Structure 1
Amino acid sequence: MYVNMDPTPEHWDPALTRLLASLKEVQPGGEDVAFLSELLQSKQLHALVQVHNKIVAKGKDDKFYPLLSNAMQVTLEVFELFGEVVSASKDYEELLGLLQKPHFQAILCTHDAVAQKDYYPHLPDVPPELDDEEETVKIVQLVKSDEPLGATIKTDEETGKIVIARVMHGGAADRSGLIHAGDEVIEVNGISVENKTPADVLAILQSSEGTITFKLVPSFGKGGSRESKVRVRALFNYNSSEDPYIPCKEAGLDFKKGDVLHIVSQDDAYWWQARREGDRVMRAGLIPSRALQEGRIIHERQSDPQTMDGKPALCSPTAASSECAPKTPCSPTPTATALLPCKSTPKVKKIIYDITENDDFDREMIPTYEEVARLYPRPGLVRPIVLVGAPGVGRNELRRRLIATDPEKYVTPIPFTSRPQKSSEQNGKDYMFVSREKMEQDISEGKFIEHGEYKGNLYGTTAESVETIINSGRVCVISPHWQALKMLRTPRLRPYIVFIRPPTHERLIETRTAANARSTFDKESSRAFSEEEFSDIMRSSNRINFLYGYMFDEEIINDDLASALTQLLKAAWRVQSEPLWVPASWVQ
């Protein structure tokens, strides 16, 4: 196909030539007319139009089809002719060797398969209706493979009939577009399911080979629902095999705390359909809904208010049913699909932060899922780094070492205090010295993210001091008391929270003793940590993680300070350079 890429005016496209002539008859129209006239006279446009016309013309004139659909048969006939040849030449030997090569024969077989369109699944003919039925039915055939069908069945409580309980998004049944929740199953592979249980139907499906034919009565309800775009961060661990009330264990989706899940369907009040973000498996799995999981946690806390292991307790079922997923084994044990209504989530109390710990406040936070979105780095967006951990775990030392790597980049806010200024101290450098009355007033107005009292003097850090560092383009690094997280984790500050966790109890004693670490519990003297203080570090760390773990973006085990600092530096780089998942309200 030849195209003149530098057409002269005599070779211009006639349609464009007529359009240009019409344009010249128009009265001068300013810049728009001048621009259009210049465009219609450009050689590039005329060359593109020529290419377009050639392609269109070729598509109309030429018909692409295979010259023959039995190339392999022709090759066999050639072999027979070669057998009659008495003397062989070099060309004969070369052609015979070429035709006998497996790769060449594979190409010929593929050619014939494509020419004959022999690449679609071979489904048997739809069985004819043996009798006239007034009820509308539909016949659905699916090719059985290693992939689960992606649908579950159950017995309808009112009619006792077998119905499609749910269709999993992304599964084979969903992709077919022919099977919907609520459809009544009449036959499977010609076998009536009347008076059969879901387990009986499952046995029929498991013994089937090749294709599976369903005779269904349509539910005439709504079709497949569209996938939602909701992403959530899981705030607890979930193992579907350990959940006795999941409708079908094989349809469950396991996940760990911190995993980001794509919630594709929330149609069921108790069981959502979800996929792990980034997972190549498109078939969704079942996970407990937020309402269900909150009910479990409330039930657990009421049963054992002192528990801190985070294991979910289950509400009691009010009704049982058996729901099975075709193609995959399913336990015949009845499973609950309805749960007792649980108490509504209590509202969070609004209290001023105090150094005195308040378990009642913290226990009202019910971590299940948190809706998230990606926060992309951009100029002017600087997120503060918050190091939280038990006293004595080393978070303050890590903060000092991080700042020392680049004091111009990493900065910590100057604390406020009501104590008198010493002669060796500078106001605005060591502390911000204010009167007790002024500090108490600012505390009551909520200007401090944390504050406390030591030896009759107030100390604290203001939100404004953190914002001042952020607005200057530098990275604010703070290591506050853990209860300050309630005031720090806001859309305004958007902090990156790192939990500094101690190693095992034995390793904690070993590493701190080897490093000759000094106790941070006693500010009056320099001494080593006591056994009781090591135990306090472990207990406090577990307690902080239990109460506030849903807020943490990352965890660093402070086994070795150098290694922990390396991890912290990598985290600090990611915060400023990579898109990260944050609460959805932070990017709205």
Structure 2
Amino acid sequence: MVNMDTTVENWDPALTRLLASLREIQPKDNPGEDIVFLSELLQSKQLNALVHVHNKIVAKGKDEKFYPLLSNAMQVTLEVLELLADVSSVAAEYQELLSILQKPHFQAILCCHDAIAQKDYYPHLPDVPSDADEEEETVKIVQLVKSDEPLGGAQSAEPIVGATIKTDEETGKIVIARVMHGGAADRSGLIHAGDEVIEVNGISVESKTPADVLQILQNSEGTITFKLVPTYGKGGSRESKVRVRALFDYDSAEDPYIPCKEAGLDFKRGDVLHIVSQDDAYWWQARKEGDKIMRAGLIPSRALQEGRIIHERQADPQTLDGAKPGMCGPSAGDCAAPTPCAAPPLLPCKTAPKVKKIIYDITENDDFDRELIPTYEEVARLYPRSGRCRPLVLAGAPGVGRDELRRRLLASAPDKFVTPPPHTSRPQKAHELNGKEYIFVSREQMEKDIADGKFIEHGEYKGNLYGTTAESVEEIVNSGCVCVLAPHWQALKMLRTPRLRPYVVFVKPPPLPRLVETRTNAHARSSFDSENSRGFTEEEFSEIIRSSNRISYHYGYMFDEEIVNEDLATSLTQLLRASWRVQSEPLWVPVSWVQ
């Protein structure tokens, strides 16, 4: 017999009623394993604590309502960690705080707090039953308080209630085009995409255009009352958990085809976006990760953006040679345009074109993967692991100074920063030790390893082969040291894999006048002439800028961070901070790296 008379302080009334019901149905002789388990669960302190927290969060009483102080506690913690990186104190309190903030369990609690603060738990009303009386039209009345949120359609609109409207092409009636996640309409749980608008504040919208309805809304004050015919089978959709890194810049004000400019979300390449809805094939809803504003905005979907880029590349093939990417992708040409809220005439790619797989030499040009169409990359947080540091990869144009930065970084802490010795087929010299400056192998063995894909980069110089293997990088990673690489930019495709998980830093040159000034004042030696020691020529300075722009155009979507190498000391400090973040903070990486 299960003892259900145990009392627990502050027991939740709902759990008490469940226990009473369980007592009534409990068999007297043999209660069974399921009932025993359920009884123990209902009487557990853990469950009662969770229910207590839930009741505090969703309490209906205004005085009891729990309001979070902020919804991005994890982001604040990361900012604190970044500030602590500049503190040289070795006090016990400092070390203890640093240890606590880096613990995965503590950071998981903060992530849980943010999820609750962002109200991911909000319930949604069930769909209207489809077996309702067909002869009697169901109508629902919804009241919302006018606020600074968009409700727009084919015309420009003033922010109103967090939804967009359009004219249904088949019926000619005004319907809800989409509900913006986090807006007033979404929070009400009563307005759904596809609902037909009958009246607004008692005014019939029959035979009116979206612009007419918007005018009514703009002239309204305080509470707005909608009379709607609900759509069947289209209840509210829960937020997705997908996070993506944007691989292009987007400015909604420059996009003539966005359904509602006021609802657009602007972002820059590298921003992490929380995709909350992908219901629309061409316009997703998203928020910037860590943004305190809970209302989502519209961004072009992957399919729409790929279609735009393909269209632009076909219209202007020269953009593949390194033109500056525009709002729609690698060029700023005009896109074949749809009308707002309609599907564009472009045929979007269902999947991104496959990248050409070739074994390349560093003497080849850098367009072997120009078929790739970068739009969004799904990401997840990768937490640092003790004793295993991610490789630090310095990418950049020849002459920009990445090799000098690598040398200074290695010299700053030889026991911590290590670079793998390259393999070579050239003969070993008398003073050289195998495995120190180079790893000497036969040309036949090296050619076989190259064919087997063991090298992340390789090339030939004066008849001898040189290269770096993935295995040599892994040995350093597993030793607990930071592997520092400065490969040819083509090697990024071989390096950026779930196996190595590198942190890629793009070393950029300053503007041309400043580049010439700083290198001249520092008496920098040209890296374009290996035979003679001399300064850079004007043409070589210009080539550094051109090559840097070309690398950024083709490979920018792989960069985790960019550093402008104007001053070596400042750049080295930035590199040291980047290395500290990689070892101590959870960072966004391709989702395949954490699966």
For residue 575 of structure 1, the aligned residue among 579, 582, 585 is 582
Give the counterpart of 1:292 among 304, 327, 333.
304
- The counterpart of 2:325, out of the listed 310, 333, 346, is 310
Aligned counterpart, 2:207: 195
In the TM superposition, what whole-angstrom CA distance separates every residue of 1:529-563 from its partner, at most 9, and x where no partner exists?
11111111111100000000000000000000001
Q: Give the secondary structure class of the aligned counterpart of 1:362.
A: coil
Give the distance between the partners of 1:387 and 1:304, measured in 2 at CA.
32
Q: Does 1:557 align with 2:564?
A: yes
2:228 to 216, 237, 247: 216
- CA–CA separation in structure 1 for the residues paired with 2:315 and 2:264: 26
Partner of 2:404: 397
Secondary structure of 1:414's counterpart equals coil
Could you tell me which amino acid in structure 2 is paired with residue 565 of structure 1?
Answer: L
Contact 1:182-1:221 at 8 Å conserved across structures = no
Q: CA deviation at 1:424?
A: 2.5
Q: CA deviation at 1:353?
A: 3.0
Deviation at 1:146, TM superposition (A): 3.6
Change beyond 3 A, Cα 1:577–1:542 = same
| Greater gyration radius | 1
Q: How far apart, CA to CA, are the structure 1 residues paired with 2:454 and 2:218?
A: 65
Compute the displacement of 1:437 (Å): 1.2
Given that 1:375 and 1:579 are in contact with CA atoms closer than 8 Å, whether structure 2 keeps it comes out as yes
Contact 1:233 1:370 in 2 (8 A): yes
Any unmatched runs of 5+ in structure 2? Answer: 1-42, 50-134, 150-159
Residue type of the alignment partner of 2:324: D
- The AA in structure 2 aligned to 1:368 is T
Alpha-carbon separation, structure 2, partners of 1:174 and 1:449: 49
- Are the aligned partners of 1:183 and 1:217 in contact in 2 as well (CA < 8 Å)? yes
Q: CA deviation at 1:478?
A: 0.8
In 2, Cα distance between the equivalents of 1:468 and 1:378?
A: 16
Q: Is the 8 A contact 1:295 1:315 kept in 2?
A: no
Paired residues for 1:166-205 under 5 Å: 166-205=178-217
Q: Note if contact 1:186-1:215 (Cα within 8 Å) is conserved in structure 2.
A: yes
Confirm or deny that 1:144 pairs with 2:159.
no
Q: Give the counterpart letter for 2:246 in structure 1.
A: A
Q: Give 2:515's match in structure 1, choosing from 508, 526, 544.
A: 508
Candidates 497, 510, 514, aligned match of 2:504: 497
> Do the aligned partners of 1:246 and 1:337 also contact (CA within 8 Å) in 2?
no
Q: CA deviation at 1:342?
A: 3.3
Shift of 1:211: 1.1
| 1:417-447 per-position Cα deviation (integer Å, ceiling 9, x unaligned) | 1112222322211211111111111111111
Give the distance between the partners of 1:139 and 1:438, measured in 2 at CA. Answer: 77
Q: Are 1:470 and 2:477 an aligned pair? A: yes
Instruction: Name the SS for the 1:228 alignment partner.
Output: coil
CA RMSD of aligned residues (A): 1.8
Q: How far did 1:198 drift? A: 0.2
Does 1:273 pair with 2:285? yes
CA distance, structure 1, for counterparts of residue 366 and residue 404 of structure 2: 28
> What is the aligned partner in structure 2 of residue 521 from structure 1?
528
Q: Choose the corresponding residue for 1:255, options 243, 267, 274.
A: 267
Q: Confirm whether residue 547 of structure 1 aligns to residue 549 of structure 2.
A: no
Q: Secondary structure at the match of 1:485?
A: helix
In the superposition, the TM-score normalised over structure 1's length comes to: 0.74
Output the CA distance in 2 between the equivalents of 1:358 and 1:507. Answer: 27
Residue 398 of structure 1 aligns to a residue whose secondary structure is: helix
Q: CA deviation at 1:340?
A: 2.4
Q: Check whether the contact 2:303–2:349 (CA below 8 A) recurs between aligned residues.
A: no
CA–CA distance in structure 2, aligned partners of residues 562 and 164 of structure 1: 57
Deviation of 1:255 (Å):
0.7
Question: What is the distance in 2 between the residues matched to 1:314 and 1:175?
Answer: 37
Query: How far 1:346 sits from its partner (Å)?
Result: 1.8
**Cα distance in 2 between the residues matched to 1:381 and 1:198:** 58
Matching residue of 2:240: 228
Q: Partner amino acid for 2:537?
A: S
Say if 1:274 and 1:286, in contact at 8 Å, map to a contact too. Answer: yes
Cα distance in 2 for partners of 1:489, 1:369 equals: 16
Structure 1: 5+ residue runs without aligned partners? 1-44, 53-132, 324-335
**Conserved 8 A contact 1:141-1:214:** yes
SS at match of 2:563: strand
Match of 1:97 in 2: none
Residue 337 of structure 1, CA deviation = 4.4
Structure 1 residue 359: deviation in Å?
Answer: 4.5
Q: What amino acid maps onto 2:141 in structure 1?
A: I
Distance in 2 separating the partners of 1:343 and 1:375:
30
**Matched residue of 1:255: which SS?**
coil
* Letter in structure 1 aligned against 2:468: T
Cα distance in structure 1, aligned partners of 2:305 and 2:581: 32
Aligned amino acid, residue 336 of structure 2: S
Q: Is this contact kept in 1: 2:308–2:346, CA < 8 A?
A: no
Q: Check whether the contact 1:353–1:449 (CA below 8 A) recurs between aligned residues.
A: no
How far 1:314 sits from its partner (Å)? Answer: 5.3
Match of 1:379 in 2: 386
Superposition pairs of residues 478-489 of structure 1, within 5 angstroms: 478-489=485-496
- Where 1:302 maps in the other structure, the secondary structure is helix
Alignment-mate amino acid for residue 238 of structure 2: R
Partner Cα separation in structure 2 for residue 459 and residue 338 of structure 1: 50
Distance 1:289 1:279 in 2: 20
**SS in structure 1 opposite 2:344?**
strand
CA–CA separation in structure 2 for the residues paired with 1:300 and 1:338: 14
1:454 alignment partner, one of 458, 461, 464: 461
- Per the alignment, residue 339 of structure 1 pairs with 345
| 1:221 Cα deviation after fit | 2.5
Q: Is 1:135 matched up with 2:137?
A: yes
Task: Classify the secondary structure of the residue corresponding to 1:361.
Answer: coil
Residue 339 of structure 1 aligns to a residue whose secondary structure is coil
**Residues 317-366 of structure 1 deviation map (CA, whole Å, 9 limit, x = unaligned):** 35x35x6xxxxxxxxxxxx5433213553212221132133454221111
Looking at structure 2, the residues matched to 281 and 287 of structure 1 have their Cα atoms a distance apart, in angstroms, of 16
* Higher mean displacement: 211-220 or 489-498: 211-220
**Match of 1:254, SS?**
coil
Instruction: Give the aligned residue type for 2:567.
Output: D
Query: Is the aligned partner of 1:369 residue 2:376?
Result: yes
Matches within 5 A, 1:315-330: 315-317=335-337, 320-321=339-340
Residue aligned with 1:203, SS: helix
Equivalent in the alignment of 1:431: 438
Matched ranges for 1:12-161 at <5 A: 134-147=136-149, 148-161=160-173
